Chains A and B, each alone.
Chain A
Amino acid sequence: MSAPDYYDLEALLTAEERLTRDTVRAFVEQECLPLIEGCFSREEFPRQLIPRLGELGVFGANLKGYGCAGMNNVAYGLVMQELERGDSGLRSMASVQGGLAMYAIYAYGAEEQKRRWLPPMARGEAIGCFGLTEPDHGSDPGGMEARARQVGDEWVLSGVKRWITNGSIADVAIVWAKTTPDDEIRGFLVERGTPGYGAHDLKGKFSLRASITSELVLEDVRLPASAILPGVAGLKGPFGCLNQARYGIVWGAIGAAMACYETALDYALNRVQFDRPIAGFQLVQQKLVDMITEITKAQLLAHRLGILKDEGRVRAQQVSLAKRNNVGQALHTARLARDILGANGIVNAYPVIRHMLNLETVNTYEGTYDMHTLIVGRDLTGLDAVR
C-alpha cells in the first residue's frame, strides 16, 4: 500500500526518514493490522506487540541516550503517522509511553530516575502512564484535587486520575499532584504495587477500543522522597509533556486520515452504481478532493512543525494550531470516507468506521479542539477567553 503524497512530500524527506517510515509501515501492516479489528471489537489492547514495538525502537524515539533511538522530529512524526495508520490506540500507547511518561522522566527526572526507567521503557519492558486529568478536571488541570503532603521523609499522595491510557498495565505512573503547603503542581513516580495505589479499566467506550483507558486511585500512597520529579514545579511540567505528545498526534492524525482516504478512493473506483463507478460522480469526487486537500495541508503543516521543533524554536501555540487542524480535519476526512462507503462504511470489513470513532477521542484528548482554538486565539489577541 502506498500513501497519498499529492505534493511530493517524499522529496522533502531524507533517505533515513523514508527508511524509518517504511520500516514502521511494514511492521504495522504485517504485525498489527491482522490483529486490530479483533482487538477493537473485544475492547482490548494487543499487548503482545509492546515488546516488538520496543525492539523496533518506537518508544521515545526522538529522545537521546538511555537506549532511545535519538531520531529527529520528522522521523519521529513519521513513526507516529504509521502507527496511527494502523490504529489510534496503537499510536496512543506509544505517545503516552514516549511523549508523556518517558519525556516527563527525561525532562524533569533525576539522573538516577532516568537511568532506572528510560532504558527498560525504551525496550518496552516497563510501561508508563501519565496521570494529570481527573474526573472533575479536564481542560482545567490547574484545578486538580490530587494532593501530596510531606510527612517526615515521605510524600503521602491522595487523589483520583481518570482517562489514563496504559493505566492498568503501567509499571510506573507519572502522577501530578499539588503539594501541601505550597500549593505547587509536582510530578511523582508511583510504581505498580505501591500500597494504596490501584488502577482499574474504564469499559464501554465506543472509541479507542483497542487501547487501555483506566482510572488511577491513590489513597494515602506513601512514597519516598526520591519519587518526586525534581526538575519542575507548576503546570508547565505536565504542559511540557503534553506538547511533546501533541506533536506526535499532529502526525498520527494524518495516518488515520490516509487510511480512510485510501479506502474510500479504492471503494469509489470499484463500487458500481447506475452502471459506473461512483468515483465518476461529481459529489463523490468533491469528497475525495476535499480529503486529499486536507491531508496534503496537514502533511505540510506537520513537516514544517517538525523542522521548527528540530531547530528548537517551536512554540506551544504552533503545536496547538497543528493539533487542532490536523485532528479536526482527519475526523472530517474519516466522516467523508464513511459516507462514501455507504452501508459498508459502518462495518469492520473496512477500517473507516474504526478510525472515525477513534478520531472522536483524538479530537478531545490532549487538549480539545475548542481549547486549542482558545490557546491560539489568546496568542493572536493577547486576550484570554477562559479567564
Chain B
Amino acid sequence: MKILATVKRVPDPETSIKVKPDGSGIVADNIKWVVNPFDEIAVEESLRIKEKVAGSEVVLVSVGAKVAQEQLRTGLAMGADRAILVVAEDGLEPLAVARVLVKVIESEQPDLVVMGKQSIDDDSNAVGQMAAELLGWPQATFASKLELAGDQKTATVTREVDGGLETLSFPLPGIVTTDLRLNEPRYASLPGIMKARKKELKEIEVGALGVDVAPKARLVKMEPPPKRQAGKKVASVEELVHLLHTEAKVI
C-alpha cells in the first residue's frame, strides 16, 4: 500500500510570534520552525499503517521553501521512506497548494493521502477538501480514528463533529485529514535520524508542474491581538453590579 502524507513547515506553536511593524507578515528571523503538528499526526498514522500492512511505502510531500527540507528530514527520521519537496519560495494559497498536490498525487498514485486538517500558521483548513474535490476522490476530514479493511480497499473513518462522532466508510483511494486525537506521534529516533540522511528527497520546482498558482487574494494587513487590559478590583457586590450595568454593560 502506498500512502502519501503531507508535511508543512510552520513556526513552532511555542514560539512567540511578532508581527512586522508594517503589518506585511510575521518576523521570520529567530523563530523555530517545526512540522505542522497536524501533519505530524498524519505522518504517524501513515507509519502505523505501514507497520501493519507489509510492503507499504510512506511518501512525504511538502510544498514550500527549500528550507522545508528540514521538516521532511524529520518525517524521514520518524520512519517515512522518501520525500518530495515542491519548491515554491513564495507562500501559496490553499487552492494553489491543492493543485500542486493533485499533480504529485497523479504522478505518485497513492492508495491513501493523509494530511493535517489544517496548518497551524494560516489555519485555512481547506487543502485536503480542495484536493479531494479536484481529484474527484472521497474525503473524510477531522479523523479521530482510521481503519482499513483487510483487503485495504476501503477506509472507515471516525470524525469528531459537534456534539458527537460520525463514522464514514469509503472506497480507496481517498483523502483523510487528521484531528488532534487520532494518535500521539512518535519521537524520531537517533538511529532514524542517521538513516534519514540516506533516504531520497526529491525536489521539484513548482513552475515545472504547469499549474496556476497565482494568488487570488492580497494580504492587506496582519496585526497582533490587542493587549489585555489590567483588571479592576471592586470593594463590594453593589459596586460590581453597578459597574456591570454602567461600564461593562453586560447586565
Contact = CB atoms under 8 A, between A and B. Distances in A.
Interface of A: 1-2, 15-16, 18-20, 23-24, 26-27, 55-58, 61, 67-71, 75, 79
A222 B187 CA distance: 43
Interface residues of B, number: 17
A33 to B, nearest CB: 14
Which 10 A/B pairs are nearest by Cβ-Cβ distance? A57-B190, A69-B190, A69-B191, A57-B189, A57-B191, A61-B190, A23-B188, A27-B187, A15-B70, A23-B187
A71 B70 contact: no
A167 to B, nearest CB: 26
Interface of B: 14, 32, 69-70, 73-74, 77, 187-194, 196-197
A2 B32 contact: yes
A71 B32 contact: no
A57 B73 contact: no
Contact of A56 (B70, B73, B189, B196): B189
B187 A20 contact: no
A70 B77 contact: no
Contacts, number: 52
Contact of B187 (A26, A70, A71): A26
Given A16-B73, A23-B190, A55-B187, 13 more contacts: A15-B70, A16-B193, A18-B70, A19-B73, A19-B74, A19-B77, A19-B193, A23-B193, A24-B190, A56-B190, A57-B192, A69-B190, A70-B194
Contacts of A68: 191
A56 B197 contact: no
Contacts of B192: 57
A55 B14 CA distance: 26
A79 B190 CA distance: 9
13 contacts: A15-B69, A15-B70, A16-B73, A16-B197, A19-B73, A19-B74, A20-B193, A24-B190, A27-B187, A57-B189, A69-B189, A69-B191, A75-B190
Contacts of B187: 23, 26-27, 55-56
B190 A58 contact: yes
A69 B188 contact: no
Contacts of A27: 187
A68 B191 CA distance: 7
- The listed residue with most A CB atoms (<10 A of its CB), out of B70, B74, B193, B196, is B193
A2 B192 CA distance: 24
Nearest to B74: A19
Nearest to B31: A2
B191 to A, nearest CB: 4
A2 to B, nearest CB: 7
A9 B189 CA distance: 23
B74 A69 contact: no
B32 to A, nearest CB: 7
Nearest to B71: A19
B189 A19 contact: no
Nearest to B195: A69
A357 to B, nearest CB: 29
A69 B192 CA distance: 8
Nearest to A15: B70
A20 B32 contact: no
A16 B196 CA distance: 9
A15 B76 CA distance: 13
A26 B186 CA distance: 11
A57 B193 CA distance: 10
Given A2-B32, A19-B73, A55 B193 contact: no
A69 B194 contact: yes
A262 to B, nearest CB: 14
B65 to A, nearest CB: 14
A15 B197 CA distance: 10
B194 A71 contact: yes
Contacts of A71: 190, 193-194
Nearest to A57: B190
A26 to B, nearest CB: 7
Contacts of A2: 32
A19 B70 contact: yes
Contacts of B190: 20, 23-24, 56-58, 61, 69, 71, 75, 79
Nearest to B197: A16
Nearest to A70: B194
Chain A CB within 10 Å, residue with most, of B69, B190, B193: B190
A15 B73 contact: yes
A57 B77 CA distance: 12
A80 to B, nearest CB: 12
Nearest to A76: B190
A276 B14 CA distance: 27
Indicate the member of A23, A61, A71 with the most B CB atoms within 10 Å.
A23
Nearest to A20: B193
